[in-house]
Amino acid sequence: MENIKNIIITGGSGLVGSAFQKIKNKYENINFIFLDSKKADLTDYKKSKNVFKSYEPCCVIHLAAYVGGLFKNINNNVEMYEKNMIINLNVLKICHELNIHKVICCLSTCVFPNNITYPINETQLHLGSPHNSNIGYSYAKRMLEIHCSLYNNQYNRKYICIIPTNIYGEHDNFSISDGHVIPALIHKCFLSKKNNKDFVVFGTGKPLRQFIYSLDLARLIMLILKNYEDTHPIILSTNENDEVSIKYISEKIHKIMNNKNKIVFDESFSDGQYKKTVDNSKLKELFKDFKFTDINIGLTNTIMWFKKNYPNNIRI
């Protein structure tokens, strides 16, 4: 990484940005600049460009997004689309105008079509409409991939889109209403034990998901930055046989927290998309020796961090 010096990370105080803060000391010759909404409002083009320019980055890892769990997406599809479109447009336009040649942009597996053959691979990105529960967010992320491709083709940039599966870890948003599935379940299980009430999980618990620990994702992004010379998207995920149900995850959290109260699945709530099984063969071919964190260890670390920081130093 001898040619990589200053790297801007947008979303620097978020889930994956915080993971980068944990591993940054392993890269002694790199200066990581962590931007959050206080340092740079990415919906403001002029102010953001001035901030980027002041740091003279050689690369940008674009993690910032307006995000939320299933029910936030269902209820706010317009806002999810518009805010993410503005943020992504500004970041890529600024990077191009400042002649930043390499940018890593973070998508999500929700961008893939709802009606599709499994396992999903990178070539299927635009082969149909995404699930209608998060259609605003999904299409904004798809447009980010299109935007990157246009810059790559017209200006010979290396604006690369990574597609991680469901991310979890410390420093997540643990909001019960707006958080993603694992942090929301951790918070609900914690309150269940604290208040001696049932641990209520929304939906049937049947949907299947692959999960990736935030520290693993940060490590993989650095490998991509250094070694990936292609400009096509790449899926960053655990293996197909690591896919588990929401019921399985709920029971794991319940056990790790030593919660003796009953688990109840409230089937009056939507399950969202049943499965998003992805094929990580492209990733495995590139990085054969990469070891993912066992989900039991990742969940334990996340729960311990939540309990240590609840309620004052945590996003809920």
Q: How confident is the model at residue 3 (pLDDT cuts 50, 70, 90)?
A: low
Query: Within a domain: residue 253?
Result: yes
Domain membership flag for residue 1: no
Query: What type of residue is 240?
Result: E
278 domain-assigned: yes
Tell whether 316 is covered by a domain: no
Q: Name the active-site residue from 27, 45, 81, 137.
A: 137
Q: For 264, which DSSP code? A: E
Q: Which residue in 108, 93, 206, 111 sits closest to 163, CA to CA?
A: 108
Token match 């650095």: residue? 222
When pLDDT is cut at 50, 70 and 90, the band that residue 132 belongs to is confident
Show the domain range for 35: 6-309
Burial status of residue 297 (CB atoms within 10 A of its CB: 0-12, 13-18, 19 or more): exposed
Q: Using the predicted structure, report yes or no on whether residue 10 has a pLDDT greater than 70.
A: yes
Q: What is the pLDDT of residue 1?
A: 45
pLDDT average, residue stretch 250-279? 94
Return the percent helix, strand and coil in the chain, to nearest 5. Answer: 45, 15, 40
Tally the residues of the chain: 316
Question: How far is the C-alpha of 261 from the C-alpha of 195, rounded, in Å?
Answer: 10
Question: pLDDT tens digit string along 20-38?
Answer: 999 999 998 899 999 999 9
Token readout for 199 is 């641990």
Please indicate, yes or no, if residue 314 is contained in any of the structural domains.
no
Q: Which two tokens stand for residue 118?
A: 């499994």
* pLDDT attached to residue 223: 96
Count of domains observed in the chain: 1
CA–CA distance, 62 with 96 (Å, rounded to integer): 13
pLDDT digits (tens, 9 = 90+) for 155-209: 999 999 999 999 999 999 999 987 889 999 999 999 999 999 999 999 999 999 9
Q: Which two structure tokens, joined as six digits, stand for 143?
A: 């447009």
- Give 30-36 contacts, CB < 8 A, sequence gap 24+: 30/1, 30/4, 30/5, 30/6, 31/5, 31/6, 31/7, 32/7, 33/6, 33/7, 33/8, 33/9, 33/57, 34/9, 35/8, 35/9, 35/10, 35/11, 35/64, 36/11, 36/12
Please give the mean pLDDT across all residues of the chain. Answer: 94
Q: Is 118 a catalytic residue?
A: no
CATH, residue 31: 3.40.50.720
Q: Are strands 234-236 and 158-164 parallel, antiparallel or unpaired?
A: parallel
pLDDT tens track for 69-127: 777 878 889 999 999 999 999 999 999 999 999 999 999 988 999 889 999 999 999 99
Question: How does pLDDT run across 269-312, given as a tens digit for each residue?
Answer: 988 888 889 999 999 999 999 999 999 999 999 999 999 999 88
User: Is 245 within the bounds of a domain?
Assistant: yes
- Inside any domain, residue 254: yes
- Asked if residue 315 is part of any domain, the answer here is no
CA dist., res. 303 & res. 15, Å (int): 14
Give me the sign of the Cα torsion angle 169, 171, 176, 179.
negative
Alpha helix ranges (H) inside the chain: 15-23, 45-55, 70-75, 77-97, 135-155, 181-195, 214-227, 246-256, 281-286, 295-309
Residue 89 and residue 143 in contact, taking contact as beta carbons nearer than 8 Å: no
